[in-house]
Amino acid sequence: MLVQLTYASRVSRTLSSDDIKNILSSSQKNNKADGVTGALCLSNGIFLQILEGDRQKVNKAYHKILADARHKDPAILDYREVISRKFSEWSMGLITRSDDNRQLFLKYSSSSDFDPYSMSGETLRGFFSEVVDNVRWLRKSPD
């Protein structure tokens, strides 16, 4: 059974580009092996991640991620069964806020800062659908 899990967390300290690269490379390696796909957004010191795949694999990945000291204040924002994946081509894509995609981040925020903690499941799904639609210009490398 396929599920999607979306959570937010805050960076626990200032993260360097090497920290982000490490997170991304571990994620891509492990997720590929487990058939987990998804996207990781970082904006304003807040991570927003969507994990999708087999229910047990997604739950296992989330519990491992929870133990990571590089972030804190995790909160599950959306969890549901789905019939298909949104991010089938990404073992883990990184999206950081930039001038190019600022409008998209703000479009789905009720405040002037991107605050996924206050977003509904439906709003989050809208945000990730637009991420997928705009993947060509949104996707950023970590450096």
Among 13, 32, 55, 64, interactor with ligand FAD by CB under 6 A: 64
Among 8, 47, 101, 124, interactor with ligand FAD by CB under 6 A: 47
Shortest spacing between CB 122 and ligand FAD, in angstroms:
23
Among 37, 46, 53, 71, interactor with ligand FAD by CB under 6 A: 71
Q: Output 56 or 137, the one with its CB closest to ligand FAD.
A: 56
Of 25-33, 79-87, 111-119, 123-131, which part binds ligand FAD (CB under 6 A)?
Answer: 25-33
Is 49 a binding residue for ligand FAD by CB under 6 A? The answer is yes
Cβ atoms 92, 27 nearer than 8 A: yes
Question: Encoding tokens for residue 136?
Answer: 């060509």
Q: What is the dihedral of CA 113, 117, 120, 126, to 10 degrees?
A: 50
Is 96 a binding residue for ligand FAD by CB under 6 A? The answer is no
Cβ-proximal residues to 73 (8 Å cutoff; 6+ apart), any chain: 8, 9, 10
Cβ-proximal residues to 13 (8 Å cutoff; 6+ apart), any chain: 70
